[in-house]
Amino acid sequence: LKPLNIPHLVSRLEQLLRERTAAPARVLVIDDDTELAEYCQIILESEGMEVQVLASPETIIEEVRSFRPELLLMDVHMPHYDGPDLAAVIRQFDEWSSLPIVFLSAETDLDKQVDALSRGADDFLTKPITAAKLIAAVKARVSRARALSDLLNKDSLTGLLKHASIKSAATSEINRARRAGYPVSIAMVDIDHFKGVNDSYGHATGDVVIASMATLLRQRLRQTDVMGRYGGEEFLVVMPHCPAEAAYQRLETLRQHFAQLRFRHDTTEFGVTLSAGMVCSEEAPDANGDTLVVLADEALYRAKRGGRNQVCC
Ligand code: GH3
Ligand code: MG
Ligand code: MG
Ligand code: MG
């Protein structure tokens, strides 16, 4: 088997490495002692992490939902609240069942530390703590949690979210946009006559085409976009803060760039096209996430019926 389109694979590897190293870890610090919380915040921020501090945990559920921390750094003793109780509450939500929770407390009673660990914490650090130890503990937890989450949620061929993960990510993005009142556009993108690619050039070459499609999508990705491999050669793209006209232009550019790619099998060079269907939340004010995906899918069907290699709204 000859290596095909190596530049695409290399750029995808570089992209993966960038994501791993560049994305700042989001840490939520929950402590009634604001001075200590700020101490942690300054240390973690000096390492490039994004930190939010919650002095009183009444709003912890809302905070976790909106900030989407990758690690909770939590005090044990707080007025009216007990850290391990909070950890147990967080663990009742499926989506947070593996969210790293680390306690940082002056509590030296080993039984109480064991109790905290058995009720949902991953680690128990004791105060006073050095900057180096805090940084190392947080970084190690976050990077392992990311590796685990990639393994569970990402497709190995494209590095994009798998079907179930993109569906739930899309739903939560759409809900967030509805609550905050900004537009969100949804697109379904599908490679044209892909069966023919497999039939003519083989499955391995087909895989290269799919991976290249994903690379192109990532290159056009904005920080806030969410995308995934919805099916074999079908991709779902969610574009928050993107009105219909802007989304259409982005998809149209994507379509043109994809059509310009040249693939090779033995001595044959060939090109492939894509079709896309899109809808903007502003055009369907009452539609929920599922309905918007259905509307995008219907638009894709119109693009296919209309002759393929086109974007339909
Ligand atoms: P249309 O223009 O209507 O979309 O036609 P199509 O041939 O692209 O559509 P269809 O959905 O009938 O075919 C998709 C094909 O994609 C069928 C399946 O064998 C192939 N496929 C699905 N997953 C993979 C994959 O991971 N690798 C490869 N090489 N092929 C795949
Ligand atoms: Mg306290
Ligand atoms: Mg297809
Ligand atoms: Mg398809």
Bridge pairing between strands 234-240 and 274-280: unpaired
Map 189-219 to HEC letters.
Answer: EEECCHHHHHHHHCHHHHHHHHHHHHHHHHH
What is the number of the ligand closest to the CA of 235? 4
In which band, very low, low, confident or very high, does the pLDDT at 5 lie, cut at 50, 70 and 90? Answer: low
Residue nearest to atom 26 of ligand 1 (CA): 232
Ligand 1 pocket, residue 192 CB under 6 Å? yes
Tell me: ipTM over 0.95: yes
Alpha carbon 179 to its chain centroid, in Å, reads: 20
Which residue out of 233, 245, 252, 269 is catalytically annotated?
A: 233
Ligand 1 pocket, residue 234 CB under 6 Å? no
Tell me if 164 sits within 8 A of 21, measured CB to CB. no
Output the pLDDT for position 10.
66
pLDDT digits (tens, 9 = 90+) for 188-246: 999 999 999 999 999 999 999 999 999 999 988 787 899 999 999 999 999 999 999 99
Output the pLDDT for position 8.
64
Ligand 1 pocket, residue 289 CB under 6 Å? no
- 95 in active site: no
Length of the chain equals 313
In three-state secondary structure terms, 46 is helix
Bridge pairing between strands 268-270 and 263-265: antiparallel
Backbone dihedral region for residue 241 (phi beyond 0: left; psi -120 to 50: alpha; all else: beta): left
Output the pLDDT for position 20.
55
Q: Tell me phi and psi for residue 274, to 5 degrees.
A: -130, 160
Percent of the chain with pLDDT over 90: 84
Q: Which of 111, 75, 230 is nearest to 164 (CA)?
A: 230
Ligand 1 atom with the shortest distance to the CA of 207: 29
User: Whole-model pTM?
Assistant: 0.79
Compute the distance between CA of residue 53 and CA of residue 104 in angstroms, rounded to an integer.
Answer: 14
Ligand 1 pocket, residue 162 CB under 6 Å? no
How far apart are the CA of 313 and the centre of ligand 4, in A? 18
pLDDT digits (tens, 9 = 90+) for 108-158: 999 999 999 999 999 999 999 999 999 999 999 999 999 998 999 999 999
